Chain A
């Protein structure tokens, strides 16, 4: 009996390790090709072609970009704090990668002997973990800006930190209305709730909108990319960074985009739920169902990634006072009202 348990456990660990490896690989792959999509879509929206020289349709462009970053000279400013200077991009990258662990990427594969969940950790307080880890991401920016020992970097870092702190508040408030409905912090439970009752975005359109705007701000995407306002306020907190350290910061941003798209899909758009289809009624092989749900999840994520890119190439960035006004005077009251109305409606309907 004991031996059996140990055997099971080692399989379990192996399964999770494979899943973690796959997830990290997936994050890097998606982030790489988001950079290509970004440049392609930017080109199309500006009546250009976008990169199309490296391989057919430019599909090797991300490799070329990455190779370029690796081979560039790496400069560490003499007056910088070396340890913190290294810690900044590392932290940004680690934080970006950790968040994806609690997201369910597809329906669990139910085999004859065992079920394999397409999720590294189905934690009871899943969404809170995401929030907790994302807020650590501020340190990547702050440490990077501070360790550069450059006043402009520091100012940009403070700008970025204040932005992220300001927009975390309405993000959390808009989330509470969703939690009222699903009644669980567990990501898989949220998806199951939406499978039965319809997607949350139908009941919480305002909540989704606020969440989406805040997600843009959390990812430092236009119109909220003040931390790295490269053309008017220097290059931002990574001004002193070069080579792959800079690459890590930029790459972490794309991974953040990917993960926050996945979080939005899970919270508001039914996660891996296939629209207009009852997964429980599936007759075919469980493996196909898992693959299908994973594909649907990826389609939703791609849609959000496209939305991020679309917005970036449409609007210019906000002024700092506009940013703060929007966050504190518009989004927080809106999120509060949304929360109160949802609470009142839920109470009223339950009675």
Chain B
């Protein structure tokens, strides 16, 4: 039965005398290794060089602020509902008078946690959010010693303040557009 066109019958003839001193085949092998010596190396020198992420890479979550530095999230819970891994929990709270510079709308997330061990980085939370409050950045969760270290709380997720910590904010934003210029089409 012939399974494939590329099948080759194994040559089992006893070695001829010349083959039995291995010399020719060893020389052929050495030519191959010498050629490889001068080939381009695939190595990326990690801490100095870093592999660039794709534009659509989905990494660690970021909770967004608007241009005045107010939190976008209204704790509506749509992300938690959308999440297939059930990684997101939150507790809502009402904005008190005098807190208008902190939260954009009357309701906000007092507690917002994502369990990075559960998260599958599918990005459905980003799609579900009506307030443009959560998106997936181009970094990944660093290693940790304990499981509880992977449960990211709000202060770890929140993007730096765009006015007070401008530099860190721009860095965290990465390739993405600032939140006020994005328009929702879908």
Contacts and interface: CB of A to CB of B under 8 A. Distances in A.
Contact of A47 (B30, B39, B45): B39
Nearest to A311: B30
A14 interface: no
A310 B36 contact: no
Interface string B31-53: 01110111101110100000000
A41 B37 contact: yes
Contacts of A313: 33
Contacts of A162: none
A326 B23 CA distance: 11
B10 interface: no
B26 interface: yes
Interface string A44-84: 11111100100000000000000000000000000000000
B29 A314 contact: yes
A330 interface: yes
B145 interface: no
B20 interface: yes
A311 B23 CA distance: 12
Given A314-B26, A326-B21, A326-B22, A45 B43 contact: no
Interface residues of B, dominant DSSP: helix
Given A41-B37, A44-B37, A49 B43 contact: yes
B26 A315 contact: yes
Contacts of A326: 20-22
A310 B21 contact: no
Interface residues of B, number: 18
A325 B22 CA distance: 12
Contacts of A47: 36, 39, 41-42
A334 B36 CA distance: 33
The interface centre, meaning the residue of A47, A52, A310, A325 with most chain B CB atoms within 10 A of its CB, is: A47
A47 B40 CA distance: 7
Interface residues of A, dominant DSSP: helix
Contacts of A41: 37
A315 B36 contact: no
Contact of B30 (A49, A52, A310, A325): A310
Contact of B29 (A49, A315, A334): A315
B42 A45 contact: no
Contact of A45 (B23, B26, B33): B33
Contacts of B42: 47-48
B41 A49 contact: yes
Nearest to B40: A47
A315 B45 CA distance: 29
Contacts of A314: 26, 29-30, 32-33
A310 B39 contact: no
Contacts of A44: 36-38, 41
Contacts of A46: 36
Contacts of A49: 41, 43, 45
Nearest to B30: A314
Interface in B6-24: 20-23
Given A44-B38, A313-B33, A325-B20, 16 more contacts: A41-B37, A44-B41, A45-B34, A48-B41, A48-B43, A49-B45, A52-B45, A209-B23, A310-B33, A311-B30, A314-B32, A315-B26, A326-B21, A326-B22, A330-B20, A334-B21
* Pairs A-B, 3 closest by C-beta atoms: A44-B37, A45-B33, A314-B33
Interface of A: 41, 44-49, 52, 209, 310-311, 313-315, 325-326, 330, 334
Interface of B: 20-23, 26, 29-30, 32-34, 36-39, 41-43, 45
21 contacts: A44-B38, A44-B41, A45-B33, A45-B37, A46-B36, A47-B39, A47-B41, A48-B41, A48-B42, A49-B43, A209-B23, A311-B30, A314-B29, A314-B30, A314-B33, A315-B26, A315-B29, A326-B21, A330-B20, A330-B21, A334-B21
